Structure 1
């Protein structure tokens, strides 16, 4: 907990917010961290802590209507062909991949197409009339992320400590995510209008960090001994086991080290849902005597899938679930029952999938770990709530090792946000958690498609690393391929490479060597960052690849050993051993010359080009503006509808008061107006503009105001006697105000006289005080004359009524009398409130005048004293001068007789000087 508080304090030094996102296959969770907001979940509009990962996109009123997450409600069962749910497995995948078929098996009616310009990257076809509305997966992801950002901004609006800015973002990804998948996330974040992507965090890393940061360490726990734990995360679409260790040192610091992973990319909660869907679908086909489910309407399949999801949840607790779907097919209802035995039987062949990730994670460590080495297995993910999953894990692990010490729904989002803070601040304190992340893959390179590859970053090496390799000397243009576990990620073709090399001049004793710098960044993405030509003097000319290509036998093998590290790991703060081994037998003669790196060639899914991103960003901005306009119109519609029903209820509730002042026909006219407006809203408002709805709302508000006045009119005394009483009270208040103004003026006049008597500038101080009062909001006293004049005008109108006879007064419409009554009473209330403010302001003004007068008078007295002392000092000097002259004329000085007076005079002058200097110092300070 102390560590968590430290991180919270750290973010308080910046006013910008950090948004951590756990984008799951079924649900998305997000956490906001900002000054005044400590790791708070971003709620949905309905107040839920997690939101569905999906969107509904339909054509409506000539445009697109987008509904996000849980707000889709029943839209995805009514219009399944317009919904995109659970798209996470499609990120970075081809339309020909196996993930595509799994997705289509859960999203009925949705069509997927390949993007020829991006090597068959997936585009979603929702059957919209505009062909430009075939959305890339990155676009759909960006839509969800942008909506999430908007909700986070709403949370910041009421927070005075943080700026309403959400640009720093960090997202969790599956630890088995490919380069193409990670690039899809990065593109989606940019399209979602996040300007600063802090990074991508492995889900297992995030949960482990949340676990350690939330753990309370006592003094006796700080032993320096390493503990091993496993994060077992079963989500909707996949299952992972992340083996990690942490070491709590005696100084309070903790090292968190990610060791290895095991995973199953397709085994998760939705697979169980799909199994229940199969059970219900078979019973449905039998019930309706159907044989082919592929010809069923998407709506039917979607409703059965919705029932299957509910059944899976219920069967986690109960022994059976009753399915009841009204008007499901051919106008008929469908009812059936699914039992827990059926559920567990159909999933019995999946049992090995439950434990396999844990076993794989243990095998992937070096040296290999066993169950006995693991202190606990921490459960995470919503699908962990399925009882037989926990039961099967307990069989492998034992009950004692199973831990539920993290929030299975939110720990990933919390840990992701915390890692985002670490990535943003890049600070390491003594008692901080140091996270050591490792690569779970081997990263290699090949030159010119040669069969032999070179291991650059070995599995288990630390990430956020670089390595500089000697690629040898080349006589032709070169191609460099980058691989992950033998799978080509990207390649670079250097067409002008030879020209650049030939431009470099080396001495006859030197050879031109090519050096490449490769990086494995904090997102675990492998790339070529720099290529250089260098003149090298060596006992054996040529780098590893040149020797390898020339088959130089033992010498080549020796070089190979020098290039490769013992265990394939790379020191984070050092270059690859290739460079160090080369430097032992070579010496640089000239500065290396850089070679421009061309655009990479992608053998699989291509990232979005800059042009495509710009075009897509503009399209999304257009859709966002349309959504904002639609939201504004919806709000106006809601206000109109609620206003109509409120007005109708108001008429019913105040029938008796209204009848005192109105006829039944007049009241009926108001009721008719409400009925006509509601009918227009429900049946005739399609295609109406915002102004049309605003005008209707204005009419409803005006009618409501009229009725409010009539009801209030029935409650007040607006008879002739009542108006006379109002006039008398109002006149009394006006006289009191005038009397107070006169008294205030007298006080100010007395102060003026006091100032002028001492020759102080009253007008100057008066202007200063007025300006001060205006700055502090006490300007009512400056406008009192005008306000009193307006008040008297309203009072005079009441006075005109009181001068009438009873018969004349009764001829005036009550509405007109009430309006004058209302205006006068409103001014009376306003005037009384002003008087209180004016009294406080005047009191402050008088006190300020008196305080200033006292200071000026004190300053004046001190100045007079100083001047007096100066005059006395000058007179004494003149007397001394005359005495000396007289003695010189007499020709002698009686030393003995004069010594005492001189000493006395000296003492007197010294005392006077000190007093004068003291007075001057005081004056200077003033």
Structure 2
């Protein structure tokens, strides 16, 4: 039994498959790819079959049997934002790892009027309050990740239904300029969603991998620049590509960025144009009251975003919004020229990141500027880049600007996670910031890792200038302290007369997170280190504080409750939709001519009344009712529909005397089969009892110990069914004796008679099946117990036999020992007799006899 259980467990383990999610989490849109067995490598479609989804979630209050929150994702979230602006938690990425005083919070508030932003003082972080419930930014992002995970798992289960599939790892694209706090916050969000972060990968590197994977390179370096303008920022990454020892090598050579320049600037500019045009058409409405309307501002933002896309391909677009504000419709046209005039300052600064990334690089060696990110489609942006480069031929559009990052991320994430891939790319990655340390905020800092150092995924060794006593370390990211360490050492200059130094190892993770991994003290005596000991200490965060493990668990529990409520609500809404559909179907059905003709008038009338009652109930009480209550109503209407179907669809040929006779004979035959089987059950039981008696075992006691989940049919229930069948047989017999009686019965009466008989037959079949199952289980159990008793008896007999043999053996040993001892005494006597004198012989013999 144990071996079978172990084999079954191992079989399940062998069928378990895990996978990796690659998520390009953009400020405005998110793209994802699932890397898993049996799943094609392609972008995961959204709930409405789009290749990208809106980043964020919309919360909507749900009224009903309890206060609840409904979450909408993707493009459905945008629609919900218009209806309920206070729950519009889209585009929250800029708030990750930010304090309440950060300018990004004010920018978010401008784009999301109506959202209540709250400070989380204990962590120096930002959150949201909706319907009295607080959510951290990490929890909102985790909702997005969890939604992507659910959709990916659903797709995988469809393609591989016979395995237990698990998605537990994720690789996420980020801008290189992300700080330690932002990276930590993103990792916390993934952990809340039940995903382990394999790595946070620079989106410029990801786009470069996507560009390089289908091309060949020589040993000589090729230089390209990835220019990525997304919704919230612009990045320029100078990379080199070459092939060394059949391995593609990618190195980051330069980097520049603008955190505040992106597509949202362009959308905001068009939105401002639309505000001005609306106010010009409605001069009695003030700017203050119009811009204070969160619903109107959300509608205008979405209209402006669509207009921006159209103006990338056309010189004119028309904007239309019904009931925009104060029951006023809005219509206007926006020209590309007025749009470009409004964003002229932003366009002038488009080349700044590119200039920073290139530095003193010789432009003649630059082979191409590869455009990535949706905002690079704006014609004014492309013109500015061409003007800066002085050569339009260098502008390259040979990658998918929207999906290059996520495909490159999938390759990089798979390599870092240890997945076997045909193409291995050796990436030389760099940190963006300078990392330094100091013993206090006022002391001088020592550079540990210089800016742009190629140390991602490595350890950096450092010797501290502190020479004695307690070691305090503050770790800086550029000018900003973000973590502190305190180490105690028992060593002093007295115990180490020739010097006491400290050394440490700083780890740079694959995600670019820097931390002090270990510290050692070196004690010098007579000029040489004689004692080396690893120190233990305390670490703390400065400024923004990541979530603790306890806080992560609390977030997981809170979102699990929301997930459960979502499942319940979706199930409940499904039942409501089914009930509504069934009611309207029933209303149409009872008006059909064949139903009116063949259905019992009372039943049709009752069904019509039930439909009216339930439709009224649905309008007034469905929101306050439980799923169980709604399901009960649905079952009721379905039961009535089924009853009516019976009267309408039963063919007349089933209602003849011959058919009734056949049905009576079949039911009687079935009843006889039941009687025969019950005799067999009794015989089997008697035979089993005899076997038990043969071995002097208590049959009744063993039989009573068996507890079955299946309900055994009682004699009363069987008797009722048999009485129904006998009653039907008597009715049929009377019809045979007087065939004219069947003509006097209505169609409804005949159908009722037939259905009653069929129902009794079905019950009898069910009872017989239950009896067979119970009987087989009982006999099997009794046989097994008998075999066990037989084995136990044989084992006991063998044990007793072995015990007897052992006792006989022991007795034989004792007897043999007595014989040996007697023999020794006899030999001793003989030796004494031979060695004694004749005079003493008599005395010695007497003494020996006395001793014996």
**Is the 2:590–2:608 contact (alpha carbons within 8 Å) kept by the matching residues of 1?**
yes
**Is the 2:415–2:424 contact (alpha carbons within 8 Å) kept by the matching residues of 1?**
no
Measured in 1, the distance between the counterparts of 2:600 and 2:758 equals: 23
Name the structure 1 match of 2:277: 283
Q: Which residue of 566, 574, 596 maps to 1:635?
A: 574
> Residues 304 and 806 (structure 1 numbering): CA distance in 2 closer, same or farther, change over 3 Å?
same
Which digits, 9 at most, give the CA deviation of each residue in 1:711-732, with x for residues without a partner? Answer: 321x45224266279669989x
Measured in 1, the distance between the counterparts of 2:730 and 2:350 equals: 87
Measured in 2, the distance between the counterparts of 1:204 and 1:250 equals: 25
Name the structure 2 match of 1:619: 558
**Is the 1:378–1:403 contact (alpha carbons within 8 Å) kept by the matching residues of 2?**
yes
Alpha-carbon distance, 1:699 to partner: 0.9
Q: Which residue of 548, 572, 575 maps to 1:609?
A: 548
Which digits, 9 at most, give the CA deviation of each residue in 1:73-124, with x for residues without a partner? Answer: 52211221221111111111122111112111111112323222223x1122
**Is the 1:203–1:412 contact (alpha carbons within 8 Å) kept by the matching residues of 2?**
yes
> Where do residues 645-724 of structure 1 align in structure 2 (5 Å cutoff)?
645-652=584-591, 655-662=592-599, 666-713=603-650, 715=651, 717-720=653-656, 723=659
Measured in 1, the distance between the counterparts of 2:407 and 2:738 equals: 79
102-111 vs 35-44, which moves further: 35-44
Q: Which residue of 385, 406, 425 maps to 2:377?
A: 385
268-277 vs 444-453, which moves further: 444-453
Which digits, 9 at most, give the CA deviation of each residue in 1:662-713, with x for residues without a partner? Answer: 2566434423322322221122323112221011111122122223323321
Name the structure 2 match of 1:16: 18
Which digits, 9 at most, give the CA deviation of each residue in 1:783-828, with x for residues without a partner? Answer: xxxxxx99xx89989975973543222527132354379779999x
May I ask how many residue pairs the two structures share in their alignment? 692
Measured in 1, the distance between the counterparts of 2:425 and 2:135 equals: 41
- Could you say what secondary structure the match of 1:350 adopts? helix
Q: Which residue of 736, 740, 750 maps to 1:807?
A: 740
Is residue 2:480 matched to residue 1:487? yes
Measured in 2, the distance between the counterparts of 1:728 and 1:718 equals: 13
Name the structure 2 match of 1:122: 126
Alpha-carbon distance, 1:281 to partner: 0.7
**Is the 2:15–2:163 contact (alpha carbons within 8 Å) kept by the matching residues of 1?**
no
Which digits, 9 at most, give the CA deviation of each residue in 1:368-399, with x for residues without a partner? Answer: 32333222222222223323323333344444
Name the structure 1 match of 2:257: 263
Name the structure 1 match of 2:519: 531
Name the structure 2 match of 1:763: none
Q: Which residue of 7, 27, 30 maps to 1:28?
A: 30
Name the structure 2 match of 1:147: 147
Alpha-carbon distance, 1:176 to partner: 0.9
Measured in 1, the distance between the counterparts of 2:355 and 2:588 equals: 67
Name the structure 2 match of 1:179: 180
**Is the 2:348–2:384 contact (alpha carbons within 8 Å) kept by the matching residues of 1?**
no
Is residue 2:455 matched to residue 1:465? no
> Residues 92 and 798 (structure 1 numbering): CA distance in 2 closer, same or farther, change over 3 Å?
farther
Alpha-carbon distance, 1:174 to partner: 1.4
Name the structure 1 match of 2:114: 109
**Is the 1:518–1:528 contact (alpha carbons within 8 Å) kept by the matching residues of 2?**
yes
- Could you say what secondary structure the match of 2:653 adopts? coil
Alpha-carbon distance, 1:279 to partner: 0.5
- Could you say what secondary structure the match of 1:15 adopts? strand
> Residues 222 and 666 (structure 1 numbering): CA distance in 2 closer, same or farther, change over 3 Å?
same
- Could you say what secondary structure the match of 1:513 adopts? strand
> Where do residues 515-554 of structure 1 align in structure 2 (5 Å cutoff)?
515-536=503-524
Measured in 1, the distance between the counterparts of 2:419 and 2:79 equals: 45
Alpha-carbon distance, 1:250 to partner: 6.3
Name the structure 2 match of 1:874: none
**Is the 1:723–1:801 contact (alpha carbons within 8 Å) kept by the matching residues of 2?**
no
**Is the 1:234–1:384 contact (alpha carbons within 8 Å) kept by the matching residues of 2?**
yes
- Could you say what secondary structure the match of 1:38 adopts? coil
> Residues 303 and 430 (structure 1 numbering): CA distance in 2 closer, same or farther, change over 3 Å?
closer
- Could you say what secondary structure the match of 1:589 adopts? strand
Which digits, 9 at most, give the CA deviation of each residue in 1:132-178, with x for residues without a partner? Answer: x2222112112222222222222233323653312111211111111
Measured in 2, the distance between the counterparts of 1:599 and 1:134 equals: 28
> Where do residues 748-897 of structure 1 align in structure 2 (5 Å cutoff)?
803=736, 805-809=738-742, 810-811=744-745, 813-819=749-755
> Residues 724 and 290 (structure 1 numbering): CA distance in 2 closer, same or farther, change over 3 Å?
closer
**Is the 1:319–1:340 contact (alpha carbons within 8 Å) kept by the matching residues of 2?**
yes
- Could you say what secondary structure the match of 2:454 adopts? coil
- Could you say what secondary structure the match of 1:76 adopts? helix
Name the structure 1 match of 2:287: 293
Measured in 2, the distance between the counterparts of 1:796 and 1:514 equals: 102
Name the structure 2 match of 1:369: 361
Q: Which residue of 212, 227, 230 maps to 1:235?
A: 230
**Is the 1:170–1:199 contact (alpha carbons within 8 Å) kept by the matching residues of 2?**
yes
Alpha-carbon distance, 1:518 to partner: 1.1
Q: Give the alignment's TM-score, normalised by structure 1.
A: 0.69
Alpha-carbon distance, 1:42 to partner: 2.9
Alpha-carbon distance, 1:20 to partner: 1.4
**Is the 2:232–2:259 contact (alpha carbons within 8 Å) kept by the matching residues of 1?**
yes
> Residues 65 and 660 (structure 1 numbering): CA distance in 2 closer, same or farther, change over 3 Å?
same
722-731 vs 373-382, which moves further: 722-731
Name the structure 2 match of 1:443: 435
Name the structure 2 match of 1:414: 407
Which digits, 9 at most, give the CA deviation of each residue in 1:861-903, with x for residues without a partner? Answer: xxxxxxxxxxxxxxxxxxxxxxxxxxxxxxxxxxxxxxxxxxx
- Could you say what secondary structure the match of 1:407 adopts? coil
Name the structure 1 match of 2:156: 156
> Where do residues 240-251 of structure 1 align in structure 2 (5 Å cutoff)?
240-249=235-244, 251=246
Measured in 2, the distance between the counterparts of 1:796 and 1:37 equals: 61
> Residues 626 and 160 (structure 1 numbering): CA distance in 2 closer, same or farther, change over 3 Å?
closer
> Where do residues 52-63 of structure 1 align in structure 2 (5 Å cutoff)?
52-61=54-63, 62-63=67-68
Measured in 1, the distance between the counterparts of 2:299 and 2:662 equals: 70
Measured in 1, the distance between the counterparts of 2:363 and 2:284 equals: 50
Alpha-carbon distance, 1:505 to partner: 4.7
**Is the 2:660–2:754 contact (alpha carbons within 8 Å) kept by the matching residues of 1?**
no
**Is the 2:241–2:249 contact (alpha carbons within 8 Å) kept by the matching residues of 1?**
yes
196-205 vs 392-401, which moves further: 392-401
Measured in 1, the distance between the counterparts of 2:422 and 2:623 equals: 65
> Residues 450 and 471 (structure 1 numbering): CA distance in 2 closer, same or farther, change over 3 Å?
farther
**Is the 2:599–2:648 contact (alpha carbons within 8 Å) kept by the matching residues of 1?**
no
Q: Which residue of 474, 498, 522 maps to 2:467?
A: 474
**Is the 1:35–1:161 contact (alpha carbons within 8 Å) kept by the matching residues of 2?**
no
Measured in 2, the distance between the counterparts of 1:804 and 1:31 equals: 77
Name the structure 1 match of 2:207: 207
CA RMSD of aligned residues (A): 3.5
> Residues 101 and 37 (structure 1 numbering): CA distance in 2 closer, same or farther, change over 3 Å?
same
Measured in 2, the distance between the counterparts of 1:248 and 1:799 equals: 93
Structure 1: tracts of 5 or more residues without a match: 1-11, 540-586, 738-788, 831-926
Measured in 2, the distance between the counterparts of 1:226 and 1:162 equals: 45
Measured in 2, the distance between the counterparts of 1:717 and 1:321 equals: 70
> Residues 684 and 516 (structure 1 numbering): CA distance in 2 closer, same or farther, change over 3 Å?
same
Name the structure 1 match of 2:85: 80
Alpha-carbon distance, 1:180 to partner: 0.8
Which digits, 9 at most, give the CA deviation of each residue in 1:295-334, with x for residues without a partner? Answer: 3321222222222122212222333222333333333323
Measured in 2, the distance between the counterparts of 1:79 and 1:623 equals: 19
- Could you say what secondary structure the match of 2:40 adopts? strand
**Is the 2:493–2:499 contact (alpha carbons within 8 Å) kept by the matching residues of 1?**
no
- Could you say what secondary structure the match of 1:165 adopts? strand
> Residues 84 and 249 (structure 1 numbering): CA distance in 2 closer, same or farther, change over 3 Å?
same
> Residues 659 and 115 (structure 1 numbering): CA distance in 2 closer, same or farther, change over 3 Å?
closer
